[in-house]
Amino acid sequence: MDILNKVNFTALQNALDHVALVMGEANLSRHDHGHFSDFHQRRNVSQFRCRNIFAIIRPKTLDHVQDIVRIFGRFKTNVGLHVISTGRNWGLGSAEPTTDGVVTLDLANLSTVRDIDCASGWAVIEPGVTQAQLAQRLAGTDRMLNVTASSGHTSVVGNALDRGVGLRRQRTEDLAGLEVVLPDSEIIRVGWWPDEKRRTSINPHGVGPSLLPLFTQSNLGIVTAAVIRLLHRPEKQCVLRLHFSRDTLENAITELRRWVAQDLVSGVLKIYDAVSTQSYGGKPGQHLALVCVSGTSGRVSAITQTLIDEARACSLFTSVTRSDLEPAASNDFVTQVVEHAYAGDPSKNEHMLRCAVGQDADHVDTDGDGWIFFLPLVPFNGRAVSRALELIKQIHEKTGIRAGSTVNALNADLVDLVVSFKFVPNPENTARAHLALDIAYKLFVDAGFIPYRLDVDHAHWMEKLVPDPSAHNLVRRIKQLIDPDAVIAPGRYA
């Protein structure tokens, strides 16, 4: 209740009245003079505690966003704005803020694709543009979007700002430029932006200190548009599916890493363990590695054959099949989703979502089964991955919750390990799943496997995770400098 004591409710009421004047009351949901929110009625798929939100504002234009920020700056409400794009951050808190006593700024209605240039490889999009919409716009062109395995109805900008991971690379690499409303309501553009008069080369870091990364996992500004880089669409693609057993895991990882290091693999190599294969709707069984090879037809033929020869020679894999000769089974959603997503097509993703949480995108939070993510970075080597799986086993022994794991190899040295806790949401199971998450933070961080994305209940871990406190202090100083009245609420990372 501390937070409520600090709130200036009269100022908040006035601020919301002004917002309603600017945008219309229909674009605003407010709760009984700001004192009570609908937190006892809301729900999120992870069953994190619902915070007390005073209002939700749904602007439709950049001008609206600027006006809202100006109004909150003027009225000194002591209530910060919590920004979401489509709010489908499932597993990490969905649309929930980290703290109580905020007003949510939902940017889903800023959903214009402002411009696309396939020749140069970029699109300027707003936060409400979903990966399905952008992928659709690019269908039939020689460019494609780096899509994730989440729903097609998730935001490209929101995921990239949280540093999400697509099938081709981490989404931060797709960001070329950002349009940001600062806490004093100034609109700035950082990184690279198309020049109307001249064709300039895409250079996200510009010249001098690079400001773009300052606005990812950040509460320093409100992103109202982004320049997203578009990948060249490969002429051909083949995905190899390789199975191996737990007792050969270390050697199999060593071999797969060698393939990545030697440039035989296109995009993010994925390895699903038996639990995660089943959770996401694949065929249960052994570990499943999915290895993409793409490029010209000649390259794909040659490298696919090379990999098949390597797989045979090492004798570590119990089966090897290729997508171009053997289509994915109609009930194997993991393989279907991944193969389409490597090709920039998220149209199958809803199947995987339904297998994971039992609901479609619009009902994941209201009715979905329990789902929590823990996302550590792990060195890409057999011993480290094996150690991570041992920690998952320990969590199972302590809590009875058997987590699934998916290796996403971001490069030959780094794995984004997606640990998923699936549970039937009832008070006992939910408590156990949350205990499992707490234990995961402790065990993985002690082992040096530091998460790169946090959930809403573990923002307080931030200070323990930065390699040097001086960096964290600098972020605090920058925040104080550009947002002295805390117009933007504290987030999961700052």
Of 64, 88, 434, 458, the one binding ligand FAD (CB under 6 A) is: 88
**N-to-C CA span, the chain:** 21
- The interface region with ligand FAD, picked from 46-54, 82-90, 135-143, 312-320 by CB under 6 A, is 82-90
- With contacts defined by CB under 6 A, name the span among 188-196, 305-313, 320-328, 353-361 that binds ligand FAD: 353-361
Q: Is residue 150 part of the contact set for ligand FAD (CB under 6 A)? A: yes
User: If you count them, how many residues does the chain have?
Assistant: 494
**Rg of the chain (C-alpha set):** 23
Q: How far is the CB of 425 from ligand FAD (least distance, A)?
A: 14
Stretch that binds ligand FAD, among 66-74, 133-141, 143-151, 300-308 (CB under 6 A): 143-151
DSSP H helices in 171-296: 249-261, 274-279
Considering the rule CB under 6 A, would residue 161 count as an interface residue with ligand FAD?
yes
d(CA 451, CA 439): 13
Region from 3-11, 160-168, 395-403, 423-431 binding ligand FAD, contact rule CB under 6 A: 160-168
Chain position carrying tokens 């089943």: 278
Among residue numbers 194 through 253, which ones bind ligand FAD (CB under 6 A)?
Answer: 222-223
Q: Rule CB under 6 A: say whether 353 interacts with ligand FAD.
A: yes
Task: Determine the Cα–Cα distance for residues 295 and 297; give it in Å rounded to an integer.
Answer: 6
Cα distance between residue 266 and residue 294, in whole Å: 6
Taking CB under 6 A as the binding criterion, the range among 138-146, 307-315, 348-356, 469-477 that sits at the site for ligand FAD is 348-356
Token look-up 């009902």 returns: 363
- For residue 335, the minimal CB distance to ligand FAD (Å) is 15
Q: Which of residues 409-438 bind ligand FAD (CB under 6 A)?
A: none
64 part of the interface to ligand FAD, by CB under 6 A: no
Residue range at the interface with ligand FAD (CB under 6 A); choices 155-163, 236-244, 319-327, 468-476: 155-163
Decide the pairing of beta strands 414-423 and 404-409.
antiparallel
Interaction between residue 356 and ligand FAD (CB under 6 A): yes
Under the binding rule (CB under 6 A), the answer on residue 346 touching ligand FAD is no
**Which residue stretch of 89-97, 242-250, 254-262, 476-484 sits at the interface with ligand FAD (rule: CB under 6 A)?**
89-97
Taking the least distance from each CB to ligand FAD, the nearer of 164 and 177 is: 164
User: Which residue in 131, 114, 132 sits closest to 123, CA to CA?
Assistant: 114
* Count of residues that bind ligand FAD according to CB under 6 A: 31
State the amino acid at position 159 in one-letter form. Answer: N
Nearer to ligand FAD, 147 or 253 (CB): 147
405 scored as a contact of ligand FAD (CB under 6 A): no
85 interacts with ligand FAD by CB under 6 A: yes
One-letter amino acid identity for 141? T
DSSP element (H, E) containing 68: helix 62-75
C-alpha–C-alpha distance, residues 77 and 246, integer Å: 56
90 binds ligand FAD (CB under 6 A): yes
3-state secondary structure of 297: helix
* Interface residue with ligand FAD, options 80, 128, 152, 158 (CB under 6 A): 158
Among 89, 304, 336, 399, binds ligand FAD (CB under 6 A): 89
Is residue 52 classed exposed, middle or buried when 0-12, 13-18 and 19+ CB atoms within 10 A define those classes?
A: buried
Query: Among the candidate windows 12-20, 150-158, 206-214, 463-471, which touches ligand FAD by CB under 6 A?
Result: 150-158
Compute the distance between CA of residue 296 and CA of residue 273 in angstroms, rounded to an integer: 31
Q: Which residues contact 168 (CB under 8 A, 6 or more apart)?
A: 146, 231, 266, 267, 268, 342, 344
Rule CB under 6 A: say whether 454 interacts with ligand FAD. no
Distance CA 460, CA 321 (A): 45
Using CB under 6 A as the binding rule, whether residue 190 contacts ligand FAD is answered as no
Nearer to ligand FAD, 154 or 185 (CB): 154
- Amino acid letter, residue 303: I
Out of 83, 176, 230, 392, the only residue in the binding site for ligand FAD (CB under 6 A) is: 83
Distances (CA, A) of 111 to 56, 61, 90, 364, 424: 17, 9, 20, 21, 34
Burial of 39 (0-12, 13-18, 19+ CB in 10 A): middle
Min. distance of Cβ 69 from ligand FAD in angstroms? 12
Q: Give the binding site for ligand FAD (CB under 6 A).
A: 83-91, 107, 127, 148-150, 154-155, 157-159, 161-162, 164-165, 222-223, 352-353, 356-357, 371, 491
